[in-house]
Amino acid sequence: MFNRKHGFSEAFVRGCHSKRLSKRDYEELGRCDSLEDVKTYLESISDYSDYLRNVQPPVKPEDIVACCKRRHVKEFNTCQHQASPPLSTFLEYLTYGHMIDNLMLALNGMLHGRSSEEILDKCSPIGLFDSLPSVVISGNVQELYRLVLVDTPLAKYLSGAVSAADLDELNVELIRNVLYKEYLQDFMKFCSTLDLRTNELMKNLLDLEADRHAIRITVNSFGTELSKSVRTTLYTNFGTMHPDGFVRLATCETVDEVKQVLVTYPGFHEVAAKDDAHDVDRGLRILELESCQRVLAEQFNLAAFYAFSKFQENELSNLMWLTECIAQRQKSSLGEGLICIDTHL
């Protein structure tokens, strides 16, 4: 049944995944002395050539990043156009996280008086909704709130939790966390209606994402006015660390205390050994990608599409970091930002 409905789409994403940049590719890219060299290498080893051939010198980091985005959007859109239920609904859920990011980028940019071009350039094409460009151009924050309620699936996460009066600079991160919590819980509920193996795999992946969400909220709240009681309300109602670990996270006041909570969970021992908050978050991202790679080793499940999207996001993040390091002649910093999980199965 799965193969008849979704077999072609699964084969398509596995084919795209086989073309992700490998560890060896990143090693070779790290030896490049200029962005022109990066462009030449990417054109020689992948289908990035279809997107890079019209990039003219001098090559800038944003040129290569834009090509990466276009490639990923084409892959995702092709997958969406082929999909039938329940995969089509599953893929819609994958766009919601990007929609939340775009909404926060728009809100933050409008509050700080940034140009519409600057805001829209940073938005993910996968999370765009039709009316966003016109509202960003108008600069009307209240209209942005109305738009989300009328024109996007985020309405069910926003309505009742956030009011138009909350849309100010102090509340941007709070709103993001509220929306993301509601999104994760809704996604988990939807996954529980899917086939048994997809549900099992997605529960593991979303449990880890819920843990990351809670840890990120906790660490980012240090030194802010966010109270411990409010912090607790932003955690999801599931996760590897739920409920006891989340209760303990809510009382943490330093990164070391967070690490003391993590070390009590076998899956987080290596993460707990990291030096600072950046390394902890990086360790969690590595755990996520390793889990995604294990999912991709299996067949006939929708979780593979989630895993594929996470590798897309990581490749974009890697190319952002790599191109900036090379452009700024800071190649010694490459290892601090690159996460290289070999994708070739």
Domain 1-83+307-345 class in CATH: mainly alpha
Statement: residue 344 has pLDDT above 70: no
Which of the four pLDDT bands, split at 50, 70 and 90, describes residue 233? Answer: very high
pTM for the full predicted model:
0.94
DSSP-assigned states of every residue in 309-331: HHHHHHHHHHHHHHHHHHHTT-G
In whole angstroms, what is the distance from residue 289 CA to residue 205 CA?
10
Statement: residue 29 has pLDDT above 70: yes
Which of the four pLDDT bands, split at 50, 70 and 90, describes residue 170? Answer: low
In whole angstroms, what is the distance from residue 317 CA to residue 325 CA?
12
Measure CA of the first residue to CA of the last residue in the chain; give whole Å.
25
* 266, burial (CB in 10 Å: exposed 0-12, middle 13-18, buried 19+): exposed
Quote the pLDDT of residue 154. 92
- Angle value at C-alpha 18, between 201 and 334, nearest 5 degrees: 90
pLDDT tens digits, one per residue of 99-142 = 999 999 998 898 888 998 999 999 999 999 888 888 888 888 88
The listed CATH number (1.20.1690.10, 3.50.50.60, 3.40.50.2300, 3.90.1170.50) that belongs to domain 194-301: 1.20.1690.10
Angle between helices 87-111 and 303-327 (to 10 degrees): 40
Domains of the chain, by residue range, sit at 1-83+307-345, 87-177, 194-301
Question: What count of other Cβ atoms lies within 10 Å of the Cβ of residue 161?
Answer: 13
Mean pLDDT across 311-325: 97
Statement: residue 145 has pLDDT above 90: no
In whole angstroms, what is the distance from residue 254 CA to residue 210 CA?
20
Statement: residue 215 has pLDDT above 90: yes
Structural contact between residues 151 and 131, judged by C-beta atoms closer than 8 angstroms: yes
Mean pLDDT across 325-337: 95
What φ, ψ does residue 204 adopt, rounded to 5°?
Answer: -65, -45
